[in-house]
Structure 1
Amino acid sequence: MSYTINGVEKEVDDYGYLLEPDFSEEAVQVIADACGITLTEQHRKVVDYLRTKFKEDGHTPNMRNLIKGLQEEGDLPEADSALLFDLFPDGGAAKQGCKVAGLPQPKGKGGY
């Protein structure tokens, strides 16, 4: 499996995460389409926040820290686990959100 983004075929791991991050808007749209997600403004806020944290920290936050960050600094004060699972039903925003954001697979508990 791979994604074609801006005319370039991008390699993914066994779970569909890009091996190398792609911060283009086309990446978000291509991956969201492949996941069956119709992007809304709330999706975009989550994706933007995940990308910012990845650029700053070299990894993305776990679900608890993602919710807290979105509420406090991510311009999504209504963020809670129910909303994030509604937006990203296949694993939540901490997982599927990273995939849609064009980021590599999150490292899991030890990587935060």
Structure 2
Amino acid sequence: MPYVVNGEELETGEEDFLLEANFSDDVPPVIAANEKITLTDDHWIVINWLRERYKEDGSTPNFRNMVSMLDEEYPGNDWKKKLYELFPNQPARQGCRVAGLTKPYGKGGY
């Protein structure tokens, strides 16, 4: 199912991930609405963090590494719990989808 953002149709593939990453801030609200997620400031912290990892590494970390790296960069949160509150359907995957990124390589777990 393609997403339509500002009149532009964004092509999706397996599991509704974008086929090409899109870093426009107009994309996450559209995908989040499809996922029945209302974006908060905490969502945007994770979205922007995932986008930076993708830009730097060409991929995103699995869930275990995500928790560890977020703990380092944003201490004071129980990121394992927080990620499931923000993205209840496999955070490492759903977070990437909402961020407008391509499908992650791993299965999203440990």
TM-score of the pair, normalised by structure 1: 0.89
Offset at residue 5 of structure 1 (A)? 1.4
Aligned to 1:88: 87
Counterpart of 1:60 in structure 2 is 60
Cα distance in 1 for partners of 2:78, 2:8 equals 34
CA RMSD of aligned residues (A): 1.3
Q: Which residue of 1 aligns with 2:70?
A: 70
Shift of 1:80: 2.3
**What are structure 2's unaligned runs of at least 5 residues?**
none
- The question of 1:18 aligning with 2:18 is answered yes
SS in 1 for 2:15: coil
Could you say which residue in structure 2 is the equivalent of 1:103?
Answer: 101
- After TM superposition, list the pairs within 5 Å mapping 1:29-68 onto structure 2: 29-68=29-68
Identity of aligned residues (%): 46
CA distance in 1, matches of 2:21, 2:32: 15
Q: Give the Å deviation of 1:77.
A: 3.5
Deviant stretches of 4+, over 2 Å: none
Which ranges of structure 1 fall in alignment gaps of 5 or more residues?
none
TM-score under structure 2 normalisation?
Answer: 0.91
